[in-house]
Amino acid sequence: MIPMTVKYSPWRLSLAAVLVAASMSSVQAEQLTRDSGAPVGDNQNSQTAGEAGPVLLQDAHLIEKLQRFDRERIPERVVHARGTGAFGVFEPGADLHDLTVAQVFKPGTQTPVFVRFSTVMGYRGSPEQARDPRGFAVKFYTAQGNWDMVGINWPIFFIRDAIKFPDFVHANKPSAVTGVQDQNLAFDFFAHTPEATNMLTHLYTVEGMPDSYRHMDGSAVHAFKFINADGVTHYVKFTWKSRQGVHGLQPKQIAGSVGEDWNLMTNDLYGAIKKGDFPKWDLYVQVLTPGELGKFDFDALDDTKVWTGVAQRKVGTMTLNRVPDNYFESTEESAFAPSRLVPGIEASEDRMLQGRLFAYADTQMYRLGANYQQLPINAPKTIVSNNSQDGAMNASGRKSEVNYEPSGVHELSQDPAFKYAQTPVSGTTQQRMTSRPRNFFQAGEYYRGLSEADKGYLIEALSGDLNHVRNEANRYTMLSYFYKADADYGTRLVTATHADAGRVKALAEKLQD
């Protein structure tokens, strides 16, 4: 993001997973083999034409070994490339049948999960101590198929419309010219994106630099819908609260932690799990009826805002208890998409979420291929029955020639109870910003809720990056945003950046909130 200044339960497997598991058995055998299963006689010397002759192309083991080595890398994730995964279980603690038919919340159930934590903007080998949100993605292997809750460690985001997401990423990724992250590019974007003020304020706090994946909360960020057996809809937001507490790094601690251990957060998480100190998070939901969405003086489906004054209800607990045996086949090949929902949970009309519904699944199909959901880490633990077929690496095991529907020969059943909920719509198609943007006030509320020490750390960290912004107009625009959020907040930043207080105040007075 912003550059720094300084053992499974016995699940039912799809045939694809069974086939992959069977092929893996040879890996555990004593005899070294080729991919075809043929035993290898010599893995140290190539076949040559005589002692001094050239290497022979007919050495199939050599050729296969080099071919496979050349193809070990798959496309890196554009965002969230630096990730850490762990297995665990989710246990519901509340009966939600009045709100949703999702079986993951059925009392007495235990749902296996795989969680992938990550940084956002860094490449796969980058330091984990970056001024960056932390990805918090949870794959629930439910009795109704997979549910992916794909979020971060804050309940808000920088932008409210997915059309801006590629630009947001480009501005915060390394420069297309130098290959180095640049505050000037990042704040050039943010100076023209006032809705990012709230998230930036959160990001530059001590909690914005977690010292461990165990010591941070998580959120699905967007509103979703719960649908009950009667088809009644409620809007919900999901939040994970760490039982380990929330702890972060102060600005002066960041550089030292990077020098000591680039992999601090992974080593901490895996070290705790291996010792049997299994980290836990409690899942909370906020619930609104459709009619209650309008009670705020801002757009309730704007992902740059939190739902103030809405009670949080604890609904379950997640425990992480196993480190993956294979990084690539778990953490790297795992694929998450917020469109992977189950009956009883649907997407809301949140504009950012709507874009993510397409983009996330599409990027995984690009990285891993059309059949990525047959990979063991992504395969649901329920029987998959559909008419999709073929494509690279397909191992579905389908036998029927009826690969269409409807059919009088072999018809797959369909349950009307699983139809999407009906949502009333009105108006005309449009391209227009929300009428209630309110870009600054929640940043001010959050700032005023910080302790004096945490306010000081925020000012220190944020001013450190603002002082590297060479474009004066952008720097003053950013200062006016923070001043608009809270006068004390802005004034402290003005002092720390040696800016003209009168100019900042005049710019802030022109802003609407």
Q: What band does 191 get if pLDDT is binned at 50, 70 and 90? A: very high
472 located within any domain: yes
Q: What band does 426 get if pLDDT is binned at 50, 70 and 90? A: confident
pLDDT in tens, 323-372: 999 999 999 999 999 999 999 999 999 999 999 999 999 999 999 999 99
126 located within any domain: yes
Same domain, 61 and 36: yes
Residue 29 has what pLDDT?
62
Residues 438-456, mean pLDDT to the nearest whole number: 98
Q: What band does 2 get if pLDDT is binned at 50, 70 and 90? A: low
Number of C-beta neighbours around residue 18 at 10 A: 15
Top mean pLDDT of 24-33, 197-206, 418-427 is at 197-206
**Which residue among 44, 70, 96 closes a domain?**
70
353 located within any domain: yes
Non-local CB neighbours of 23 within 8 Å, separated by 6+ positions: none
State which residues form the domain around 115.
Answer: 83-157+207-374
Q: What is the DSSP secondary structure assignment for residue 46, as one 8-state letter?
A: -
**Which residue among 46, 70, 94 closes a domain?**
70
Same domain, 337 and 469: no
Measured distance CA(231)–CA(117) in Å, rounded: 34
pLDDT in tens, 370-379: 999 999 999 9
- Tally of domains in the chain: 3
Same domain, 256 and 335: yes
pLDDT in tens, 266-287: 999 999 999 999 999 999 999 9
Residue 421's nearest CA partner among 339, 340, 343 is 343
Amino acid at 380: P
Give me 103's structure tokens: 């079986």
What mean pLDDT is reported for the chain? 92
200 located within any domain: no
Residue 95 has what pLDDT?
93
Measured distance CA(476)–CA(481) in Å, rounded: 9
Same domain, 489 and 364: no
Residue 6 has what pLDDT?
37
Three-class DSSP category at 132: coil
389 located within any domain: no
222 located within any domain: yes
- Kindly report the CATH number assigned to the domain that includes residue 141: 2.40.180.10
Residue 362 has what pLDDT?
95
Same domain, 65 and 96: no
Residue 1 has what pLDDT?
63
CA distances from 176 to 171, 172, 181, 465, 498 (A): 9, 11, 9, 20, 31
Same domain, 303 and 355: yes
pLDDT in tens, 471-493: 999 999 999 999 999 999 999 99
Same domain, 466 and 342: no
Measured distance CA(446)–CA(201) in Å, rounded: 8
Task: Give the global pTM.
Answer: 0.91
Give me 444's structure tokens: 């001010």
Q: Is the pLDDT of residue 20 over 80?
A: no
Same domain, 54 and 90: no
| Percentage with pLDDT > 70 across the chain | 94
- Kindly report the CATH number assigned to the domain that includes residue 47: 4.10.91.20
Residues 102-120, mean pLDDT to the nearest whole number: 97
Which residue do the tokens 């002082």 mark?
A: 467
Residues 64-74, mean pLDDT to the nearest whole number: 91
* Burial per residue of 179-205, b for 16 or more beta-carbon CB atoms within 10 angstroms, e otherwise: eebbbebbbbbbbebbbbbbbbbbbbb
- Per the model's pLDDT, the better-predicted residue between 260 and 190 turns out to be 190
Q: What band does 78 get if pLDDT is binned at 50, 70 and 90? A: very high
Same domain, 66 and 97: no
30 located within any domain: yes
